[in-house]
Structure 1
Amino acid sequence: MKNKQWVWAFSGAIFGLMISAPAMADGEGLHIIQGGPSYFNIGLGAFNAAGVTPGPGYTNSTLPMINLEYQTGAKLFGIGAVYGLLANTNGGFMGYTGFYTDVAWDHWVLTPVLAMGGYHQGRGKYLDGTFQFRLELSLDYQFANQSRFGLKIAHISNAYIKESDPGEDEIMLNYSMPLSFGEH
Structure 2
Amino acid sequence: MKNNARSPCTNAGNRHSLAADLCRLSVIRLSLHLLITTLLGLHPIQAYAEGDPALLNLSIGEVGLDRSLDNATRYGLEYRFQPMNFYQLIPTVGNVWVDNGATFTYFEMRRDFPVREHWLLTPSFGLGVFHEGRGLRLGHSTEFRSGVELSYRFPNRYRLGLAIYHLSNGGLSKENPGTESVVCSVSIPM
TM-score category by the smaller chain?
0.7 to 0.9
Aligned position for 2:131: 120
Structure 1 residue 50: deviation in Å?
2.3
Are positions 1:89 and 2:105 aligned together?
no
Assess, with a 3 A threshold, how the Cα gap between structure 1 residues 169 and 62 changes in structure 2: closer, same or farther. Answer: farther
Aligned position for 1:182: none
Instruction: Choose which of 94, 112, 126 in structure 2 pairs with 1:102.
Output: 112
Aligned position for 1:30: 42
Runs of 4+ aligned structure 1 residues displaced above 4 Å come to none
Instruction: Choose which of 2, 19, 39 in structure 1 pairs with 2:55.
Output: 39
Give the aligned residue type for 1:99. M
Identity %: 29
Aligned position for 1:75: 84
Assess, with a 3 A threshold, how the Cα gap between structure 1 residues 163 and 35 changes in structure 2: closer, same or farther. Answer: farther
Aligned position for 2:72: 63
Q: How many residues align?
A: 149
Instruction: Choose which of 148, 151, 154 in structure 1 pairs with 2:165.
Output: 154
How far apart in 2 are the matches of 1:35 and 1:51?
Answer: 41
> Bigger relative contact order, structure 1 or 2, given CA contacts below 8 A and separation 6+?
1
CA RMSD of aligned residues (A): 2.2
How far apart in 1 are the matches of 2:70 and 2:64?
Answer: 7
Within 5 Å, give how 1:49-60 maps onto structure 2: 49-51=65-67, 60=69
How far apart in 2 are the matches of 1:62 and 1:141?
Answer: 29
Give the aligned residue type for 2:94. G
> Of the two, which has the highest radius of gyration?
2
Aligned position for 1:132: 143
Structure 1 residue 75: deviation in Å?
1.1
Alignment check: 8 A CA contact 2:71 2:98 kept? no
How far apart in 2 are the matches of 1:112 and 1:62?
Answer: 27
Alignment check: 8 A CA contact 1:91 1:124 kept? no
Assess, with a 3 A threshold, how the Cα gap between structure 1 residues 35 and 99 changes in structure 2: closer, same or farther. Answer: farther
- Normalized per residue, the structure richer in strand is 1
Give unpaired runs (5+ residues) of structure 2. Answer: 1-32
Give unpaired runs (5+ residues) of structure 1. Answer: 1-22, 53-59, 180-184
Structure 1 residue 62: deviation in Å?
6.1
Q: CA deviation digits over 1:145-168, x for unaligned, max 9?
A: 011112111111001121121101
